[in-house]
Structure 1
Amino acid sequence: MVGSEGYVPSPCTLDPEQVAEHPDASLLPDDLWERIDAWEGDEDDLDEDAVLYQSDLSIAPGWKAGGFASWHATDRADVLCVCGARTDLLVTVASKEWDGASRSWIPLEDRPTADDMDANIPTHVTVGRWGSMNVFLCRADHTHPPQLSFQD
């Protein structure tokens, strides 16, 4: 795969780690979201180390297996198989591993160099306009073709 800049993906080491992520706020019951909103406090009073649900606790950025899909470019949508069954997120291929709003997700081993140029794009894979591709599999029959969702 050659990107618009003429790069091919860079070889890199895969260092999988298990993380706990939570659903997007749009999936939470209203009463729970109200409690989270109260816990976060007033936006004007937050310091740079404040922990926020959307950026620090829900939907880990970057390449991942499983978890929750990000719907940052569109409204959330149910991804259905061609047979009509619901699907599960298999893998996310992302252009960046983190950004300024998701720094809490930076792996500990990457923190010393996190501010270096391109530190958050170790593979040099660009999906669309710096977005991500989510691959979903049918819950009813894993032999059905995968469904894709692109978020630019």
Structure 2
Amino acid sequence: MPLADLKVLRRIRAAAQGRDFTSQERETLARIKPSRTYPRPKPSLRPYEGSIALLPLAQFYTRDIPDLRTPAGTDLLQVLWCPFDHPPKSYMPKTVLFWRSEAEVTNVLTAPPEPPAVQYQGYLPEPCLLLPEQITEYPHPSVLSPDILSLLDDWGRWEAAGDVVDSRYASYPAEFYRINLCVAPGWKVGGWASWGLTDPIPQSCPTCDTEMNPLLTIPSAEWGSSDRGWIPCELREPAIPTRGGEPRLDQPAAIQIGRGYKQQLYVCPASPEHPHTELMQ
């Protein structure tokens, strides 16, 4: 989709929250997204000549995230991505990491270059502010030993923890761990990896073969219907429903990976300067 059309689409939907579209808005939407016809025509694709500008995805400072391990002389991580799939290896945006020194960033572009189009609407990040909060989480059940899993399935041990455990989980205590304690959903720097689309897959550094660590989780949503306990207290009040395609409280960046998955970035603990890897989960 042309980037200019997508921005107009989002702007119209945001302006029309709580009211019907005007006739002019309907005409514009019909031009940008005409009604589907069946059989659907095969899209006409042609190679794009020239370079494609990357889109800014996220920016992190070590002053906000002290645990962020950066190369010597840097205190800032900027993550950009190409808003197109890169088959056959990757069916999600390809990311690029820039480790920089905040003091050396002097010429800030007020209007950075943009690509002419994006492959999917969910590949255009909506500008929003990240408010880092340090939390405690635990490993995904699929990487725990059978002995630990049996302990998690013992309701008596959970009862000994007191009122912090919801009694509704008495019949399936291990679910309390899976939903409320392990692998926090949402945007996350570091922490434990999320699994589910596949079994755990060790990530090895392509340069030195060292086992890599999770760097960043890019989710399609901040939370889901089964893990609402992770919703920040200030966002638990009912909100006005949004129109399709518009950012919601659980999708402030309006990003979607695949059919609602996560994109995980891994870095080498031996050297953050080694190439990073990407994984969809």
Which category of TM-score, normalised to the shorter sequence, fits these structures?
Answer: 0.7 to 0.9
SS at match of 2:200: coil
* CA distance in structure 2 between the partners assigned to 1:125 and 1:12 by the alignment: 12
- Report the TM-score when normalising by structure 1: 0.85
Identical aligned pairs, as a percentage?
A: 37
Partner of 2:220: 95
Q: Structure 1 unaligned runs (5+)?
A: none
* CA distance in structure 2 between the partners assigned to 1:114 and 1:3 by the alignment: 30
- The structure, 1 or 2, with the larger RCO (C-alpha pairs under 8 Å, 6+ apart) is 1
Bigger mean CA offset, 32-41 vs 98-107: 32-41
Q: Structure 2 unaligned runs (5+)?
A: 1-82, 84-117, 156-168, 243-247
Moved >3 Å (runs of 4+):
5-8, 113-117
Bigger mean CA offset, 87-96 vs 4-13: 4-13
- Report the TM-score when normalising by structure 2: 0.48
8 Å contact from structure 1 (residues 114, 120) kept in 2 = no
* CA distance in structure 1 between the partners assigned to 2:122 and 2:273 by the alignment: 35
The 1:99/1:136 distance shift into structure 2, 3 A limit, reads same
Which amino acid is 1:96 matched to?
A
Partner of 1:112: 237
The 1:134/1:97 distance shift into structure 2, 3 A limit, reads same
Bigger mean CA offset, 31-40 vs 52-61: 31-40
Query: 1:71 aligned to 2:195?
Result: yes
Bigger mean CA offset, 85-94 vs 122-131: 122-131
Bigger radius of gyration among the two? 2
The 1:86/1:145 distance shift into structure 2, 3 A limit, reads same
SS at match of 1:96: coil
After superposition, the CA RMSD in angstroms is 2.2
Partner of 1:81: 205
| Alpha-carbon offset, residue 112 of structure 1 | 1.0
| Alpha-carbon offset, residue 116 of structure 1 | 4.4
Partner of 2:177: 53
Per-residue CA distance 1:64-121 (angstroms, 9 max, x = gap):
1000111120001111111211101111111100001111111111111468443211
8 Å contact from structure 1 (residues 135, 147) kept in 2 = yes
* CA distance in structure 2 between the partners assigned to 1:7 and 1:79 by the alignment: 24
8 Å contact from structure 1 (residues 113, 119) kept in 2 = no
